[in-house]
Structure 1
């Protein structure tokens, strides 16, 4: 078996712990290998083969790279629904934003970097004067993410976006292994099912569930970057701590207390939601100080 690096399991990366995330990837990779997954290269190869077989549309092959081809950037902008009104404008971010992305990746814990590099093969860095600042991932195209870095963002803000999008991809892998939804087709259908954790907008069962885990992951990252001090009124790319936690807990209560919850979510998804809610509630005492 490939070795896991030493380190503390934290609250998927923060919600389930590094070793469980890695175990998921090893199990999925092994389904596309003739033998056991023994090395990091085995894992990368098997995982790429698994993703290629299960993606609806294909991401670019690895290793991790920043997309610099304008044609590919335009394809990704269209897939992410981020095509600019003026299609003549170049999409590529300025060089300093590329440096900021690298700084953000470097401040992630080593285990998180390892997972990120296993899952993400291409990053579209869009010019935020052309594409609205934000980030995104496609669960049907694991491997591709985009980030449009805001003008006043720091490396920590970009790191939050990296964890945000990695969480979607880790949850997709977890879903492949365990199953999250009673009716997967209905779970992804756009509908006003429940409010999301970050913006409290009504979205589908999958989006609401993912948003809750994302919020817990962001708070886990913030705690880690601040050395355990979670109380930061200013917040980051996802808003102030207190607002994020209170909105996320509203989302958690709505999802977990639904009378028809078990008609939509399988046990594994419910456990992940409960773990995320527990992590978020643990932040409340520090905020009261």
Structure 2
């Protein structure tokens, strides 16, 4: 989201959502974080949130409550995420994982202060849980939370990319709460309205594909601007493959005969911003391949 709408727009979104809890008189991001926490406590009261507590969750009771928040049945949970969370980490494995995550959080602060500031503002809990099917995830049932299942062969960059990936999901959740991205959730749950995702390259519900496109664009920017191309990426595909899949995902969305009824004006704006970003990256690299706009392109909306 940072490269699509900018830091100020994201802050405005969070301030708008949290307005009833800060009264409009915000002096700094610390006060905004307090107000956001109160907003989340109100709309997601079953998700444990201890203001300014350690971000890496170690208490068993808090971890179990967070696991439960991921196990809520959802119509659009096509990958059955609730069944992916397995057993707790051993003490030794937890120590290794926490060390790697702390290093990645510190690296983000060095690499991109604005991205790090958003991470500190929005993410209040990271919990560890084993899984046979995923390296982690986020859910709209628990905004501000990241689940991680570390792999032994992940590099520092893999960890940092995972954090950027999950932060982006959470920023999209918040943007959706303010603007609405989808016009009809019953329609996007129907298989005929599925599209091809940018990260997994599989047919998925539109909201998942929408998220995957925005995540991919943020990761492509991160690699280009400060991470560099990983020599042996484990969490995400090589950049060229990710660009190819992201463009295919955009084409897949706009190939749907119901696209106008599926996306709101803000939803169209964000998808067009993703395409524009990829086109600009291609121009910056002097790429010969032209990134084409969809034949029927909605009018972009000015970022509020």
The TM-score, its normalising length taken from structure 1, stands at 0.83
Cα separation, 2, equivalents of 1:263 and 1:223: 35
What runs of 5+ residues in structure 1 fail to find an aligned partner?
Answer: 1-11
Quote the Cα distance in structure 2 between the aligned partners of 1:35 and 1:21: 16
The match for 2:2 among 10, 13, 17 is: 13
Distance, in Å, in 2 between the alignment partners of 1:59 and 1:196 is 31
1:218 is matched with 219
Contact 1:15 1:276 in 2 (8 A): yes
SS, match of residue 21 in structure 2: coil
Contact preservation (8 Å) 2:48, 2:65: no
Query: Cα deviation per residue 1:191-224 (whole Å; 9 max; x = unaligned)?
Result: 4611111112111121110111010011111112
Q: 1:123 aligns with which of 126, 134, 146?
A: 126
Instruction: Give the SS at the match of 2:141.
Output: coil
Partner of 1:148: 149
Q: Deviations over 1:150-179 (max 9, x none)?
A: 211111111111111111111111112111
Counterpart-to-counterpart distance in 1, 2:222 and 2:150: 18
Q: In structure 1, which of residues 42, 47, 55 is the aligned counterpart of residue 44 of structure 2?
A: 55
Say if 2:11 is the partner of 1:22: yes
- Alpha-carbon contact 2:125-2:145 (below 8 Å) kept: yes
| Deviation, structure 1 residue 248 | 1.0
Is the CA contact 1:196–1:212 (under 8 Å) kept in the aligned structure 2?
yes
SS of alignment partner, residue 140 of structure 2: coil
Q: Deviations over 1:53-72 (max 9, x none)?
A: 22374243232511113344
Partners of 2:248 and 2:182 in 1: CA distance: 21
How many Å apart are 1:234 and its aligned residue?
4.1
Contact 2:47 2:65 in 1 (8 A): no
1:59 & 1:71 partners in 2: Cα distance?
10
Q: Where do 5+ consecutive residues of structure 2 fail to align?
A: 71-80, 289-304
2:276 equivalent in structure 1: 278
Q: What SS is found at the alignment partner of 1:124? A: strand
**Are the structure 2 counterparts of residues 236 and 90 from structure 1 closer, same or farther at C-alpha, using a change threshold of 3 Å?**
closer
Deviation at 1:133, TM superposition (A): 5.0
Q: Shift in Å at residue 287 of structure 1?
A: 9.0
1:152–1:48: structure 2 CA closer, same or farther, 3 Å change rule? Answer: same
Q: How many residues align?
A: 269
1:102 and 2:102 aligned: yes
1:6-29 CA-partner distances (Å, limit 9, x unpaired) = xxxxxx112221121112112212
State which of 252, 264, 267 in structure 2 corresponds to 1:266.
264
Listed as ranges, the matches of 1:176-195 within 5 Å are 176-184=177-185, 186-187=187-188, 189=189, 191=191, 193-195=194-196
Please tell me whether the aligned partners of residues 196 and 203 of structure 2 are also in contact (alpha carbons under 8 angstroms): yes
Contact 1:197–1:247 (CA<8 Å) still a contact in 2? yes
**Distance in 1 (alpha carbons) for counterparts of 2:55 and 2:226:** 25
Aligned residue in 1 for 2:85: 83
> Any conservation in 2 of the 1:104–1:156 contact (CA below 8 Å)?
yes
